[in-house]
């Protein structure tokens, strides 16, 4: 086979082009910090990168869901804490009003405070966060507690659950059933036997008794202690249930943080270039390229034009 000057020149130009391509590849890795810039560079790395990014996106979405769960649970817990304190204050006022040393005016003052506490509990029952009522189930646009024309507070909460997915296959109830906090309890009465009264009815009857009863006042007021205790126990039980769900939420959050860290590391190992190796390869390719240029200068022989200058 006869090797011509044209063949040598074409081979030299082809090899120079490949050398430039290799230098461009290493320079791009150096500037981007990534092994590949397009799927065709390494389809396996590209496919794994898609899988890792998909998994990371899911974890980040679950983290955002947990943020929403935090809003529901922490706000509900704060409302339950205030409700417990309010009812405990009502119990103190009930014991205080039971004293036979108090006069009508003093009992009326206690009744006024009881009504104020009832209004405060109504505000707590209508706790609203980000435009959503927390104690009305999935009916988050309507307030569960309202005041009628007679001034009496009515309470009717939706009992549905607000379930939010916080991990793959893991759904947690984020809300508190308002009826389990402010709703009915069984009350034993001499006239009607067992009746059901919500917290607002109890406080309304208590205030009426403080304002209107003059005979056997201690006995009448003592009968309200068990009612108030019943409402307090409902709040405490619901708060304990909420606390258990908050603990599970925290455990899932910790697991998601670990998953995110592992997925991020795997994605980095798959895609990120080893900068020390890239720098070494780039320097080596520069040396090879310089040598190729030097060799190419010898391959291109002088022509007649060079002697005519």
- Dump pLDDT digits (tens) for 118-149: 999 999 999 999 889 999 999 999 999 998 87
Q: For domain 55-266, is the CATH number 3.90.550.10?
A: no
Q: What is the mean pLDDT of residues 13-29?
A: 69
What's residue 301's pLDDT? 60
- Dump pLDDT digits (tens) for 215-270: 444 446 778 898 999 999 999 999 999 999 999 999 999 999 999 999 988 887 78
Indicate whether 271 pLDDT > 80: no
Least confident of 2-11, 142-151, 204-213: 2-11
What's residue 104's pLDDT? 79
What's residue 299's pLDDT? 63
Burial class (CB within 10 angstroms; exposed 0-12, middle 13-18, buried 19+) of 62:
buried
Tokens of 32: 């981007």
Using 50, 70 and 90 to split pLDDT, how confident is the model at 188? confident
Place of tokens 């769960």: 69
Q: Is the pTM of this model over 0.75?
A: yes
Q: Comparing 21 with 209, which gets the higher pLDDT? A: 209
- Dump pLDDT digits (tens) for 50-96: 898 899 999 999 999 999 999 999 999 999 999 999 999 999 999 88
Q: What distance in Å separates the CA atoms of residue 198 and residue 165, rounded to the nearest whole number?
A: 32
- Dump pLDDT digits (tens) for 23-58: 767 667 666 667 777 777 778 888 888 898 899 999
Using 50, 70 and 90 to split pLDDT, how confident is the model at 214? very low
What's residue 215's pLDDT? 45
HEC sequence for the chain: CCCCHHHHHHHHHHHHHHHHHHHHHHHHHHHHCECCCCHHHCHHHHHHHHHHHHHHHHHHHHHHHHHHHHHHHHHHHHHHHHHHHHHHHHHHHHHHHCCCCCCHHHHHHHHHHHHHHHHHHHHHHCCEECCEECCCCCCCCCCCEEECCCCCEEECCCCCCCEEEEECCEEEECCCCCHHHHCCEEEEECCCEEEEECHHHHHHHHHHHHHHCCCCHHHHHHHHHHHHHHHHHHHHHHHHHHHHHHHHHHHHHHHHHHHHHHHHHHHHHHHECCHHHHHHHHHHHHHHHHHHHHHHHHHCCCCHHHHCC
Indicate whether 117 pLDDT > 90: yes
């Amino acid at each position: 086979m006869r090797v011509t000057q044209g063949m040598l020149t074409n081979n030299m130009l082809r090899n120079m082009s490949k050398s430039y391509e290799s230098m461009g590849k290493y320079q791009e890795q150096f500037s981007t910090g990534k092994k590949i810039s397009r799927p065709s560079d390494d389809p396996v790395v590209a496919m794994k990168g898609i899988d890792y990014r998909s998994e990371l996106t899911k974890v980040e979405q679950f983290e955002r869901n947990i943020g929403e769960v935090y809003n529901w649970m922490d706000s509900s817990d704060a409302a339950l804490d205030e409700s417990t304190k309010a009812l405990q204050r009502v119990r103190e006022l009930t014991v205080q009003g039971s004293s036979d040393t108090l006069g009508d005016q003093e009992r009326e003052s206690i009744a006024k405070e009881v009504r104020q506490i009832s209004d405060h509990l109504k505000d707590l029952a209508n706790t609203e966060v980000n435009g959503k009522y927390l104690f009305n189930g999935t009916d988050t646009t309507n307030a569960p507690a309202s005041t009628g024309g007679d001034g009496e507070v009515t309470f009717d909460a939706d009992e549905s659950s607000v379930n939010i997915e916080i991990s793959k296959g893991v759904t947690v109830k984020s809300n508190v059933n308002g009826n389990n906090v402010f709703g009915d309890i069984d009350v034993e009465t001499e006239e009607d036997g067992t009746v059901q009264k919500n917290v607002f009815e109890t406080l309304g009857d208590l205030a009426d008794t403080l304002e209107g009863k003059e005979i056997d006042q201690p006995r009448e007021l003592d009968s309200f202690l068990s009612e108030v205790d019943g409402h307090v126990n409902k709040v405490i039980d619901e708060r304990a249930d909420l606390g258990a769900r908050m603990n599970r939420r925290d455990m899932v959050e910790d697991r998601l943080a670990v998953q995110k860290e592992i997925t991020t590391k795997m994605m980095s190992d798959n895609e990120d270039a080893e900068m020390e190796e890239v720098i070494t390869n780039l320097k080596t390719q520069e040396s090879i390229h310089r040598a190729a240029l030097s060799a190419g200068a010898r391959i291109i022989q002088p022509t007649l034009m060079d002697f005519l200058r």
